[in-house]
Structure 1
Amino acid sequence: MNNRQLDVICIGRSSVDLYGEQIGGRLEDTQSFAKYIGGCATNIAVGTSRLGLSSALITRVGDEQMGRFIYETLQDEGVDVSHVVTDPARLSALVILGIRDRQTFPHIFYRENCADMAIEAEDISPEFVASAKCIVVTGTHFSQSGVEAASRTAMKYAKDAGTKIVLDIDYRPVAWGLTAHGDGENRFIESTAITRHIQTFITDCDLIVGTEEEVHIAGGSTDTIQAVRRIRELSDAAIVVKRGPMGCVVFPDKIPEHLDDGIWVKGNEVEVFNTLGAGDGFMSGFLRGWVHDESWETCCEYGNGSGAIVVSRHGCSPAIPSWIELQDFLSNGSPHRKLRNDKRLAHIHRATNRKKDWPEVCAIAFDHRSQFEDLLEGTGKTAAAITEFKNLIASGARDAIGEEESFGVLIDDKYGFDALAKMSDNSCWIARPVELPGSYPLEFEGGDNIASILRDWPESHIVKCLVRYSPNDPADIKDSQNKSLKNLYQACLATNHELLLEVIPTEDNEQTRAETLGAMQEIYQLGINPEWWKICPPKNQRTWDNVEALIERHDKYCRGVIILGLNVALPELVEDFSVCLASPICKGFAVGRSIFLEVAEKWFRNEINDAQAQQLISNNYRLLLDTWTELKTA
């Protein structure tokens, strides 16, 4: 078993969850929604991956935008999607959910003839099942004949291969046709027929997990211990009863007289914000221990801790902790009963669950606005020409890149929106500016309400903010800048955007460049942890070492530093590259005017045409990429 490629394969529901963002009101009154992936099997696949297991998912998604959203998010989460089938005839499942109060979580399932309920036995590969230590089947996928056949086929292949079988009872009365569509939150309705049906497939399981209500339906009794006994009569599986804030109880063999006489591990005391997905978080944590043959107590501790973190947050799969985060929580706890108010834990969650890894960024920066406006003077051209030229830069950059996964752009939406939209195809690193050009103290181009501006941005766009900052700034300037930076950071947290801070000295010379380190230090002391820094390139290794030590001291999860070009000539850039490549904290460059300014001047004066400009930009960018690669491999 230890040499198997996968730890866990989950089989079952996969949907798009639309979570109401307004809390404490009716679902009817909700005005906006956050979009996540969801469904029991999908949440567990994501959760186990975050917790360090190699996980896979067998499901179906629609051949449409929401199906691609599910598929791409699973990829970003590290889940094996080789057996996620795109169904051309059906739409992806959809769930609309809300948080009414601490006990009421209305949700509506849009699952009529949906893709994940079309899984067939032919979708299950015996070789794939045999490659895993365990499979997780879910109760909902025994509610209809087609998906039941697929689940039973997977269980048969698992028994043949010696793969362990885990059952998440996952009882949803609405999925069995027992409630109206508007009563999707109802978690228990007695049904002798469903009890009998469930009891036909629990016999082959090695681990059975459910809430008390789910154990009731599986065991055919609302007396929990009696239901557990009935399950034991039918199955030798270890039985885990989830008890919410009371923790969980495990019955690995004989069933005692009282429920509390099992292996009972109490839960973590946290304020309940949202129970939806907490069970999937629990299962993910429990499996982290179970797959690694940890003690029952340790499995419960992992499950309880993961569930406690999820129950304190908005969303299901996005709330599940990483392994680093769960270890920190179990070791250190939290001073906050409202875990969502724990800024340190929230930062670990945000930093260790990032969607994409960018080990290197080689970006072309053409987010300039005032500089292009200056180029218009005396040409007779209008602002439309700036947009036209930015499209040429984007096309030239695309022409220049080969197989580089490090391709990136810095581009504005004032003049570069058309190019920005074309670039936003999930193929490159994108950052866009928010600062008002030339502002000192810092102002935002769209006004003070920066959070409302960022809510209009795709989540994948990184927020870039250039700030002229020096430890020696006058007190009134510094107070204003600090207020703006803190507001920006809070807006990034609220909208789930990464932040790139471009810190440049008030006046550019060797003396003021040395102040950059002090500026970064002060910004960290404000409680701001940008994912990226963009700075003038330090000229020696000692300064790079100091930058690296500063970042490690304040935020070891920082993605790294990108150097800017400042319109210097290529030979000077080469010298800067040579120094920065020796520092692991330097992840690349974002260079603009060194690539396109001379070309722009000629184009705006009508000395070259579009094709020539595009080719020159492509050549310059390609030369820079090649130079970086050669120095890196030297």
Structure 2
Amino acid sequence: MTEPHFDIICLGRVAVDLYGEQVATPVEEAVSFRRYIGGSSGNLAVGCARLGLRSALISRVGADAMGTYLHAALGREEVDTTYLNVDVSRRTGLAFLGLKDADAATLDFYRENCADIALSPDDIDEGFIASSAILAMTGTHASAAHSFAALEKAASAARTAGRLTILDIDYRSSIWTEAEGGPECVASRLRSLLPKIDYLVGNEEEFAALGQTSLSEALVMLRTLTQATFIVKRGASGATALHPDIPTNLDAATLVPGYAVEVMNVVGAGDAFLSGMISQLAAGAPIEQALTVGNACGALVVSRHGCSDAMPSTDEVDLLVGRPPREASPEWLKHLHWVTRRRNWPQPVAALAFDHREPFEMLLEQTGSPAKRVGEFKALLTQAAINVMEVSDHTSPGALIDGRFGAASLQKLTDLGWWVSRPVEATGSRPLRFEAGEALETNMRSWDSRQMVKCLVWYHPDDEEVMKADQIRSLRRLQHACRSTDHQLVLEVILPLNGPRNESDLIRALGQLYEAGIYPDWWKLEPPTSDQTWNGLSEMIKAQDPHCNGVFLLGLGQPLEDVLRSIRFASDQPLYAGFAIGRTIFKDAADLWFTGKMDDKEVIKVISERFSSLLPAKKVKVE
């Protein structure tokens, strides 16, 4: 038998979930929504991929914006979408969800003649099915004859290839009721599939629905149809595996206990449970361990907003079940979940930093120029950076740009796929304050999610406690806003220029911020001048947050040759993430341009040459 290419193929329902952002609010009262990959098979495919499995999805989406979104979002989760076919005659399914209370969400399905339910046997490639160690199917697709025929064909192909087959009953009352023939027909079709199934998964209500009788009678009857292992999910209590015997009372069976968590949203718990269980079955683990990990995954998801987006990583699960020594604090679990979801960028990043606002405001005042001139100058910087990167072999171009003066440049480089970050701090504020004031999170929610957040904080480890407490409160607020709006955080820490300054102080400053629960995705720091400082930074960062992306070097307006020397010295350091240099490159050119002593072409030429000098490639395209 050939070695499977995939660990798991998920076949069935995929849609877009739109979750109300207002907690304790029914869907009809929600005023804003967050979009996620949805549908039981879509959730399962993501959950398995997050746990390190080679995951694929077979289904259909519409030839619409939501279908395009699902393809892209699943791709980012490293789910294979080769057989996520586009149906040009149907729309992608939607589900609106409101988090009315901790025990139930209000759901409103938009699935009439939707794309995924149009799945047919023609969508099933038997060779593709055989390429996976496990086939997991969801029962909703028994609600239509053609999609059920696809389940039958896939199950037969998996059985012929000797692959493990799993059926999630996936009972949805409204979907089964509206199906042709009603719930009885759906249940009958699924029962006919059971001889080809190795694991049958559902909660107590789902097993009863499949048997169309009471739970106890359904379990006994279903056992006459299949020797599959029955996995009965029992909510917060845990889960039970039944094989081969069926007890007269389910409470008499061995229960693998669940985990006590604060529940936000019960939707998606079953999909998370199944992904955890499958991850262990794929590794050959005993069923008790599979249920333990499944329970952990379910517990983590119910404590979060959304389904697919809430799916945990292996690190999160390991922390919850207690295998590593570190305490599974809620804050650290949230951080682990964040770092496994964020986008990764090639490193090192070469970023031209022109997010400055105050220096340009001063130039406007000195020269009497209109504000639009700043945007025009930043457009020249943008063109220079593009020119350099077009002829450079550097793979990760970047920029720091503000939204006040540089909005057009900001969007242009974001759309080009550059690493782009924008500032939030009120210039020069100490203690830290934000340009958007109390509207910080609201303002960030309007940003493109591909953009990073940059924040400069003037912080010294020997500041007065009142000052440090104020700064840390602001940084905690910022971190919460970043996580809530899906923006990575670049935290720039500079020791105040009018006080004692040495590199050991900088290391202590970062240590205090970590101790306060601040975990930026990137640090932006003055260039360390010795191996000893780099080693100290590396040891401290790796101990506090081994998932940190690394350290960007800033310039502080130093001479170009000094900046280049710092970059060369840092380039061999493991935590070196790149540079973000600005005034060193453009300050004198800005002074000359605003006073009419340098034209546009000269600005682009000078900036191109200086920016290029910091990169390995030296050729420059000048316009």
- Equivalent residue for 2:294? 303
C-alpha separation in 2, matches of 1:139 and 1:334: 40
Q: Alpha carbons of 1:589 and 1:623: their partners in 2 closer, same or farther (altered >3 Å)?
A: same
- Equivalent residue for 1:470? 460
Q: Alpha carbons of 1:204 and 1:430: their partners in 2 closer, same or farther (altered >3 Å)?
A: same
SS of the equivalent of 1:80 reads strand
C-alpha separation in 2, matches of 1:607 and 1:276: 64
C-alpha separation in 2, matches of 1:603 and 1:149: 70
Q: Alpha carbons of 1:93 and 1:194: their partners in 2 closer, same or farther (altered >3 Å)?
A: closer
C-alpha separation in 1, matches of 2:323 and 2:160: 43
C-alpha separation in 2, matches of 1:193 and 1:89: 26
Structure 1: 5+ residue runs without aligned partners?
A: 180-188, 630-634
- Equivalent residue for 1:236? 227
Q: Alpha carbons of 1:308 and 1:474: their partners in 2 closer, same or farther (altered >3 Å)?
A: closer
What amino acid sits opposite 2:224 in the alignment? Answer: E
Structure 2 residue 339 is the aligned partner of structure 1 residue 348: no
- Equivalent residue for 1:182? none
CA deviation map 1:559-613 (0-9, x unaligned): 2111112233443223212221222111111122333334434433444544553
Q: Alpha carbons of 1:177 and 1:190: their partners in 2 closer, same or farther (altered >3 Å)?
A: closer
Q: Alpha carbons of 1:93 and 1:267: their partners in 2 closer, same or farther (altered >3 Å)?
A: same
Query: What is the CA-CA distance between 1:298 and the residue it aligns to?
Result: 0.7
Query: What is the CA-CA distance between 1:2 and the residue it aligns to?
Result: 8.4
C-alpha separation in 2, matches of 1:212 and 1:358: 47
Larger displacement relative to structure 2 (425-434 or 614-623): 614-623
Structure 2 residue 407 is the aligned partner of structure 1 residue 417: yes
C-alpha separation in 1, matches of 2:531 and 2:268: 48
Q: Alpha carbons of 1:550 and 1:289: their partners in 2 closer, same or farther (altered >3 Å)?
A: same
Give the one of 181, 200, 208 matched to 1:208. Answer: 200
SS of the equivalent of 1:626 reads coil
* Overall identity of the aligned pairs, in %: 38
Q: Alpha carbons of 1:391 and 1:426: their partners in 2 closer, same or farther (altered >3 Å)?
A: closer
Query: What is the CA-CA distance between 1:242 and the residue it aligns to?
Result: 1.0
Contact 1:190 1:217 survives alignment (8 Å): no
C-alpha separation in 2, matches of 1:351 and 1:611: 42
- Equivalent residue for 2:144? 144
What amino acid sits opposite 1:196 in the alignment? Answer: S
CA deviation map 1:52-106 (0-9, x unaligned): 2111112233344332322222122221223223344433221110111233311
Contact 2:203 2:232 survives alignment (8 Å): yes
C-alpha separation in 2, matches of 1:320 and 1:56: 16
Larger displacement relative to structure 2 (271-280 or 348-357): 348-357
Structure 2 residue 554 is the aligned partner of structure 1 residue 564: yes
Query: What is the CA-CA distance between 1:278 and the residue it aligns to?
Result: 0.2
Q: Alpha carbons of 1:444 and 1:163: their partners in 2 closer, same or farther (altered >3 Å)?
A: same
SS of the equivalent of 2:192 reads coil
What amino acid sits opposite 2:204 in the alignment? Answer: E
TM-score of the superposed pair, with normalisation by structure 2:
0.92
C-alpha separation in 1, matches of 2:515 and 2:104: 40
**Structural mapping, 1:247-286, within 5 Å:** 247-286=238-277
C-alpha separation in 2, matches of 1:277 and 1:474: 47
SS of the equivalent of 1:286 reads helix
Q: Alpha carbons of 1:257 and 1:56: their partners in 2 closer, same or farther (altered >3 Å)?
A: same
- Equivalent residue for 1:197? 189
CA deviation map 1:412-461 (0-9, x unaligned): 10011112222333722221101111223322112144223222223332
Structure 2 residue 396 is the aligned partner of structure 1 residue 406: yes
What amino acid sits opposite 1:502 in the alignment? Answer: E
Query: What is the CA-CA distance between 1:310 and the residue it aligns to?
Result: 1.2
- Equivalent residue for 2:539? 549
What amino acid sits opposite 1:548 in the alignment? Answer: S
Contact 1:506 1:512 survives alignment (8 Å): no
SS of the equivalent of 2:81 reads coil
Contact 1:504 1:513 survives alignment (8 Å): no
**Structural mapping, 1:596-611, within 5 Å:** 596-611=586-601
SS of the equivalent of 1:16 reads strand
C-alpha separation in 1, matches of 2:142 and 2:183: 15
TM-score of the superposed pair, with normalisation by structure 1:
0.90
What amino acid sits opposite 2:382 in the alignment? Answer: A
Query: What is the CA-CA distance between 1:111 and the residue it aligns to?
Result: 1.6
- Equivalent residue for 1:93? 93
- Equivalent residue for 1:368? 356
Q: Alpha carbons of 1:14 and 1:359: their partners in 2 closer, same or farther (altered >3 Å)?
A: farther
- Equivalent residue for 1:81? 81
Q: CA RMSD in A?
A: 2.8
Structure 2 residue 518 is the aligned partner of structure 1 residue 528: yes
What amino acid sits opposite 1:48 in the alignment? Answer: C
CA deviation map 1:131-186 (0-9, x unaligned): 1101111111221233223333322322332222211111112223449xxxxxxx
Give the one of 581, 590, 614 matched to 1:591. Answer: 581
- Equivalent residue for 1:537? 527
C-alpha separation in 2, matches of 1:303 and 1:613: 59
Contact 2:199 2:230 survives alignment (8 Å): yes
Query: What is the CA-CA distance between 1:306 and the residue it aligns to?
Result: 0.8
SS of the equivalent of 1:86 reads strand
C-alpha separation in 2, matches of 1:552 and 1:625: 27
What amino acid sits opposite 2:525 in the alignment? Answer: I
Contact 1:335 1:342 survives alignment (8 Å): no
SS of the equivalent of 1:309 reads helix
Give the one of 280, 290, 295 matched to 1:289. Answer: 280
SS of the equivalent of 1:98 reads strand
Query: What is the CA-CA distance between 1:39 and the residue it aligns to?
Result: 0.8
Q: Alpha carbons of 1:394 and 1:426: their partners in 2 closer, same or farther (altered >3 Å)?
A: closer
- Equivalent residue for 1:45? 45
Q: Alpha carbons of 1:299 and 1:231: their partners in 2 closer, same or farther (altered >3 Å)?
A: same
Give the one of 429, 445, 450 matched to 2:440. Answer: 450
C-alpha separation in 2, matches of 1:438 and 1:570: 24
Contact 1:140 1:171 survives alignment (8 Å): yes
SS of the equivalent of 2:8 reads strand
Structure 2 residue 228 is the aligned partner of structure 1 residue 221: no
C-alpha separation in 1, matches of 2:225 and 2:596: 84
Number of matched pairs: 616
- Equivalent residue for 1:186? none
